[in-house]
Amino acid sequence: MNDADQGQQIDFTVDRNNLYREEAITDLKVASIRRLVPVLPDGTEDKSRASMFMGHTQLMSPQGPVPIQSPLAANNLEEAMDVFPDAMKKALEEVVESVKKMQEEEMRQKQRGDSRIIVPGRQP
């Protein structure tokens, strides 16, 4: 399948029943909170749906910045700020666990690859 065929199979239709406006709030230190405000197709606020909050931060690693993000269980900005620290800690734990699993898998693959090396004079 070439790139042109792939592009024709992707549905780029905008879901007009699931539109949100983003508002960004930051403390310019560690916290970045996005408020997703539901809107109607004409851009006016959709009062029948609740806003959603997403927390975002980044940590520096030897390989560069690592983005950490998580939904925030909050009904307003005040609640979002209150739950932000615990949500980021949990998201960080998930990232660390994911990295550990990837490293373990890489080690298993390397060990499998090493075991297939044929050394002259050695019986398999």
Helix (H, G, I), strand (E, B) or coil at 84: helix
User: Is residue 3 in some structural domain?
Assistant: no
Q: 25-58 as b/e, with b when 16 or more CB fall inside 10 Å?
A: eeeeeebbbbbbebeeeeeeebeebebbbbbbbe
Single-letter amino acid code for the residue at 11:
D
Single-letter amino acid code for the residue at 21:
R
pTM above 0.75, yes or no: no
pLDDT in tens, 64-93: 999 999 999 999 999 999 999 999 999 999
CB 58 within 8 A of CB 66: yes
Query: Can you read off the two tokens belonging to residue 86?
Result: 């615990």
User: Is residue 9 in some structural domain?
Assistant: no
User: Quick one: DSSP state of residue 95?
Assistant: H
User: Is residue 119 in some structural domain?
Assistant: no
pLDDT in tens, 87-124: 999 999 999 999 899 989 888 887 776 656 666 776 65
User: Is residue 5 in some structural domain?
Assistant: no
Domains: count for the chain: 1
